[in-house]
Chains A and B, each alone.
Chain A
Amino acid sequence: MKRRIIVALGLVAVLAVALAAATSAATKKTAANSITVWLQTDAQSGWPDVVAAANQQFQSAHPGWTVNIQYQSWTDHLQKFDATLAGGGGPDVIEMGNTETTKYMASGAFAPLDKTQFDNYANWLPGLAASGRYGGKTYAVPYYAGSRVVTYRKDLFAKAGIKKLPATTAQYVADAQKLLAKNKQKGFSPVYIAGEDWYVAMGFVFDYGGGIATEVSGKWKGLLASPQSIAGLTAFKNFFLAASRASKTTIETNPNPYNVYAEGLAASMVGPSWFSCCVGKKYTASTAQFVMPGHIAGKTMPGFLGGSDLAVPITSSNKALATEWIKDFTDTASEKALQAKGNIPNATNLLGNSVNERAAARSWFVPTAKHWVDVENGNILRNMLGQILTGKLTVKQAAQSASDNVASVLNQP
C-alpha cells in the first residue's frame, strides 16, 4: 500500500515537472514576435486604457507583432533589472523613476535615442527632460509627472474666518494660527507636514534661491550650507513649528498624511495631488486644493517634480520597435489621456490649468548625479531635517554636515 503511494507521488511529481517544462516551451514559441515592456503597477491600476490604446496603435502599425506588458513594483524592479542586465532576458522598454535614471545612464545601461522622434520634444518639462539626458545624449523619454500641492478643508478654513487663500507663507502661518484657535483637539495640525519630509523642506530651500548641490568643472559642490539655503531651512523650521503637529522625526509615508487628514486631525496637508483620493468619505465633499505659496507674493513655492521616464535598455534586441512603442505611448493623445487622469503631461505646451499643473510651473529637481540615489538611500537630507527640528543641531551645523556628506557621496568615482 505504502509502496503504491510512493509510486503515485513520484508519478505526480514527474508529470508536474513535465507540465511546467511544457508550458515554458510553449510560450517560447509565441514569444517570437513581441516586445516586452516593463511599466509600474501605477499604470495597471490608474490608466490601463491608455496602455491598451498605445498597444493597439503599435500593433496595427506593425502587424504580426505583439506587446507583452509586465507590471513591476517600485521596491524591486531595479534588482530585477540588474539581474537581466547580467543574464539577458530583459525588457525592450523600461519605466524608470526620474531619480533612478542617472546612475543607469552613466553606466551605459540604455541605448541612445533620437529625441526628435517623439511628440512635443521641444517642450518637454525641463525637470523631466534633464533626468533623461546624459553627456549630451538623450537616453530616456519623459512619461508623466506629478507636483506638490496643498489639499485643504474648505469648511475648516471658512470656520476659522480665512476668506482668501494665503498668497505667501507668512500669510499661511497667520492662517494657521487662526485654525489652531478654532480647533483645539490634541494632535491637530493646521498644515500637516511630516518632520522629515525632505520634498517639502527642499521646496523652501529652492524658494530662497538655495540648492542641494551643483557641478563645478566635474566636481560636485554641496550648496546646503550657502546663506540662501540656510535661510530656506530656517524658514522651513519656523513654518513647521508654527503649523504642523506631526512628529519631528517621522517621514511622509508613515503615517500617510491623508490618513491623518481623514481622521479630521489636519486642516490641510502638502503632498502629491492624488492625495485627494484618500481623504475619507466624510471630508471628500469639503476638500479642495491650491498651490503652495512661496515667501514672495506672486511666486509659488517650488514643488518637487516627481515623475517617470521611459528608456530602451542596451540589451534589447528590438530597439527600433521599442522606440516606436514609446513614441505611441507618449504622443499627444496619450499624454492628454494621462492628464485627464490627474497626471501632469510631459510637455509645457500641453499643460492645463489644474492645481497640479499650475504647481509644476515652478519646480525643483534633484542633482543629476550618478550617485544621487546613494544620497537618497543614505537618508542624508532626512536626518538633517530631524536634527534641525529636534534642535539637536543648529540649522548651520546640520546644513554644513549634510552638505559635506552629499558632496562626498556624489563625488565617489
Chain B
Amino acid sequence: MTNSNTFEPLEVHLYGQLRQLIKHSKPDEDTVMMVDFIENETFREFVQRLGLSQSDIGDCFIDGTLAKHSTILMPGARIGLFPFNMVLLCGGQHLKGHGYTRDDVDIDYY
C-alpha cells in the first residue's frame, strides 16, 4: 500500500451526531477532521475505517457530488459526512442514486 503521508489528507466535514467524532465540536461551527488519504480507497471502505456502519450514514458528499459506495476517493477530497437522519429533502432529492436510502435507482439530477 502506498504511504498515505505523501498525499494530501482528506478534509472531512462532520454534521449532526457525527460531530461527536471530534471532541468539543459545536453544532453552529464547521467541524472538520483531517484524515489520511489511502490510495484506491472507496467511500464504503472509508466509512468503515472511521468505525461507522452504512446504517449510520445519510446523504454524503464528495467534493459536492453525492457519494456512492464505490466512489474512489482522491487526495485532498472534501467529504461531507451526514448521519442517517440527515438527507436531502425537496429540491435535492433527485441528486440521489447513491445507494443508501435506495439501492435500485441510479440517477443524477433527477
Partners in one complex: no
